[in-house]
Amino acid sequence: MPNGLFWVVKVPDSAVQISPDGNTLTIHLENVPVVDAFSFPPPVPSNYASDEVDISPYQLIRARTSFDITYTKTPGTTRRIRPSTDDPLSPLNWAGKMWDATNSGSFSVAYDDGTFSASGTFGSSGNFGEMGTERNGFFVHHEEQDDNDGVEAGEQPLSLPRQPANMSQSAAAANTNQPVKFALLKGRVPVRVSH
Amino acid sequence: MRWRLGYLPFLLLAFSVPLKAQIEPIPTLKVQPIPLPGGDIFLPYGLYNQFFPGPLNQNPPFDPMNADPQGITNFHGVTAMGYTSGFTTDKKFAVVTDIRVYQGDYIGGELADPNTAGATKSARAHGTFVEI
């Protein structure tokens, strides 16, 4: 997005339902305008010079997608997050209370020009997910009382490393006995697809 | 060619796609959310204002355990995210997604004085955002 937000849209609050106990969150969206950029990062056309590379994908197909997803906290996986650095650019400069979470849902997508459409279902299938409450930026050191609301059953206080770990994006997947193929949604989400 | 790979390629937001009523265009919000200042550097494109959280001891390819899952800074609220996998109904394509939901308060930028080029001031607002 021109403002730097990464593929973010604003939706009505009513699109999201959170259960009274806070253990599940469901989102329902219809006909969200998106584009299909085929890979991430988008391929650089061969006739582009290196200084012409921009963050904007070059080939975009307008499409609409609808989906329902339910995220569910995994009991006993609570993590209390405390900022481990004051570096505003660090991934570890935030606070919150998070749980591992599974998810499942259904989707449909169709190009605006009608040349492609698909629908199906998906789920976390062992992939990482999390949900909870968080504070970042200005709020890291403000309104801290909101996540000091007692210890949940099974909560595991977590000590964060003082230094960010290796951030290389180039390595392979976790161990598995099955053939692994990386499907790169948004080009950089290595989700295991076993056949 | 694009479908031979057998994957449903990712979808990302267009900059100027007409928006339906359900979606509120961020550029017209009174209080503009501010992107996370950090993020992942992904060559050749540079910095994307978002991290890529993952499980313990799996970085790379993920960012460290407890990397901020948010894409908006100055945010206080509920966050849910997850990587998913699945298939289209006809089983022709594998589908992987990274969809994140953010609902809560944020401090963003608001027009401070219309008699300027558009200078901002900080302002607090509430909203629900989805990273698709």
Measured between beta carbons, the chain B residues lying within 8 angstroms of A18 are 78, 103
Please report the pLDDT score of residue B106 as a whole number. 97
Residue A115 within any structural domain of the chain: yes
Pairwise CB contact (< 8 Å): A167 & B127: no
As a whole number of Å, the end-to-end CA separation of chain A is 35
State how beta strands A16-18 and A24-36 pair: antiparallel
Among A11-20, A143-152, B42-51, the range scoring the smallest mean pLDDT is A143-152
How many Cα neighbours within 13 Å face the side chain of A11? 24
Question: Is A32 inside a domain boundary?
Answer: yes
Interchain CB contact of A162 with B (< 8 Å): no
Q: What is the pLDDT of residues A38-63, one digit of tens each?
A: 776 666 666 666 666 554 555 678 99
pLDDT at B80 over 70: yes
Quick one: pLDDT band at residue B19, thresholds 50, 70, 90?
Answer: very low
A contact residues 68-97, partner B, Cβ 8 Å cutoff? 69, 71, 79, 81, 87-94, 96
Q: Which residues of B touch A104 (CB under 8 A)?
A: 84
- A2 located within any domain: no
For residue A68, report the phi and psi dihedrals to the nearest 5 degrees: -125, 135
Q: Do B128 and A13 touch (CB under 8 A)?
A: yes
DSSP-assigned beta bridge partners for residue B126:
B105
Band (pLDDT 50/70/90 cuts) for residue B23 is: confident
Q: What pLDDT is stored for residue B98 in this prediction? A: 93
Q: Would residue A111 be called left, alpha or beta, if left means φ above 0 and alpha means ψ between -120 and 50 degrees?
A: beta
Nearest CA in chain A to B22: A11
Could you say which of A9, A62, A171 has the minimum Cβ distance to residue B132?
A9
When pLDDT is cut at 50, 70 and 90, the band that residue B115 belongs to is very high
Phi, psi of A13 (to 5 degrees): -55, -35
* Closest-CA residue to A132 (of B10, B74, B101, B124): B101
Give residue A15's pLDDT: 95
In the predicted model, is pLDDT for residue A187 greater than 60?
A: no
Q: In this complex, do B40 and A167 lie within 8 Å of one another by their Cβ atoms?
A: yes
List the one residue out of A59, A84, A68 whose CA is nearest residue A17. Answer: A68
Q: Is residue A34 assigned to a domain?
A: yes
User: Is residue A149, in this structure, part of any structural domain at all?
Assistant: yes
Q: Does residue A155 register a pLDDT over 80?
A: no
Q: What is the pLDDT of residue A92?
A: 96
Asked if B85's CB is within 8 angstroms of A167's CB, the reply is no
Overall domain count for chain A: 1
Cβ-proximal residues to A167 (8 Å cutoff; 6+ apart), any chain: A91, B40, B59, B60, B63, B64
Answer whether A124 touches B (CB < 8 Å).
Answer: yes
Which are the contacts of B126, defined by CB distance < 8 A and separation ≥ 6? Answer: A13, B104, B105, B106
Residues of A in contact with B94 (CB under 8 A): 183, 193
Scanning A5-34 for CB atoms below 8 A from B yields 5-13, 15-16, 18, 25, 27, 29-34
Amino acid making up residue A26 = T
Under an 8 A CB cutoff, do A184 and B7 touch?
Answer: yes
- Tokens 């997910």 belong to A129
Confidence of residue B69 (pLDDT cuts 50, 70, 90): very high
* DSSP helix/strand/coil, A28: strand
Residue A51: per-residue pLDDT: 62
Distance of alpha carbon B10 from alpha carbon B95, whole angstroms: 8
DSSP of B37-60: S--EEETTTEEES------TT-TT
Q: Higher-confidence residue: A81 or B59?
A: A81
Mean pLDDT throughout B57-70? 90
Q: Which of A157, A159, A191 is nearest to A174 (CA)?
A: A191
Tell me the per-residue pLDDT of A90-113, one tens digit each, with 9 for 90 and over: 999 999 999 999 999 999 999 999
Nearest to B32 by CA among A4, A143, A96, A27: A4
Q: Does A98 touch chain B (CB under 8 A)?
A: yes
Residue A168 belongs to some domain of the structure: no
Contacts of A53 in chain B (CB under 8 A): 44-45
Mean pLDDT of all residues belonging to chain A: 75
Size of interface A-B (CB pairs under 8 A): 360
Q: Per-residue pLDDT averaged across B91-114, rounded?
A: 94
Residue A117 belongs to some domain of the structure: yes
pLDDT reported for residue B6: 39
- CA A24/CA B30 separation, integer angstroms: 30
Q: What is the pTM of this model?
A: 0.77
Q: Residues 6 or more apart from A46 whose CB is under 8 A from it?
A: none
Q: Does A176 touch chain B (CB under 8 A)?
A: no
Task: Assess contact for A140 and A95: CB atoms under 8 A.
Answer: yes
pLDDT tens for A105-154 read 999 999 999 999 999 999 998 999 999 999 999 999 887 766 554 433 33
Give the model confidence (pLDDT) of A171-184 as tens digits.
222 233 333 333 33
Strand, coil or helix: B15: coil
**What mean pLDDT is reported for chain B?**
84
Give the pLDDT of residue A47.
65
Asked, for residue A63, whether it belongs to a domain, the answer is yes
Long-range Cβ pairs for the range A185-188 (8 Å, 24+): A185/A40, A185/B7, A185/B9, A185/B10, A185/B83, A185/B95, A185/B96, A185/B97, A185/B98, A186/A7, A186/A40, A186/B10, A186/B12, A186/B98, A187/A39, A187/A40, A187/A41, A187/A42, A187/B10, A188/A40, A188/B40, A188/B42, A188/B52
Provide φ and ψ at A30, rounded to 5°. -130, 135
Residue A7's pLDDT band, with cuts at 50, 70 and 90, is confident
> What is the domain range of residue A40?
13-163+176-193
